Amino acid sequence: MPSGRVALLKKLVFSSIVLGVAAPAAAQTAASPNPKGPQTQAQRAPAAQRPLSRSIFLANIDAEFRKIDADKNGSVTRAEVEAFQRAVSVLQIGARNRALFARLDRDRDGQLSAAEFAAFNSAPPKPNSAPFVGRYDLNRDQSITLVEYRTGTLANFDRMDADKDGVVRPEEMRAASVRTAGR
């Protein structure tokens, strides 16, 4: 990827304008009349809470579009969007990796010793029983009986068994997964 493209991506405040949530902080600062002088209450607020004019919003989304439009032809293709999303993901992963490395490198020598690496405890994800209990606890008493578990599981089997012959064939599984993915 050309270095100019990387530089543009590094300046990206990911998806703030693409998703229409808020303007990037840099655009807000550029819009303030005196960025070096005293700041008003609105200027001190996080970017997502600052007022945003329509003209600044349009300038920001135009800039975002130009970043995505790799061939600069004024039209964005699916391939350009996917390439842009991949590039942003690579930058985000790199930033996370650098932050993790910096956190682990206690002596700041640019290398991880065996002791520094051993100190790394990747905690397993916090268990979340809510989806499981919500699906199978039919009487909502926070306890799942074998009957409740079977009822919920058999309902899924019956949903997949399209011809209702008591056998779920591979094509029925595929069809059911397509229906589920389409929701």
Domain map of the chain by residue range?
3-118, 130-181
pLDDT (tens digit per residue) in 107-135: 999 999 999 988 887 778 888 899 999 98
Nearest-angstrom CA–CA distance, 61 and 63:
5
Q: Take residue 58 and report the two structure tokens written for it.
A: 């349009």
165 to each of 110, 169, 179, how far by Cα in Å? 64, 10, 19
| pLDDT, the chain, mean | 78
Nearest-angstrom CA–CA distance, 23 and 144:
47
pLDDT (tens digit per residue) in 34-45: 545 566 665 666
Q: Could you tell me the pLDDT band of residue 182, with boundaries at 50, 70 and 90?
A: low
Q: Is 13 helix (H, G, I), strand (E, B) or coil?
A: coil
> Could you tell me if 105 and 111 are in contact, meaning their C-beta atoms sit under 8 angstroms apart?
yes
Nearest-angstrom CA–CA distance, 164 and 155:
12
Nearest-angstrom CA–CA distance, 77 and 79:
5
> Could you tell me if 138 and 152 are in contact, meaning their C-beta atoms sit under 8 angstroms apart?
yes
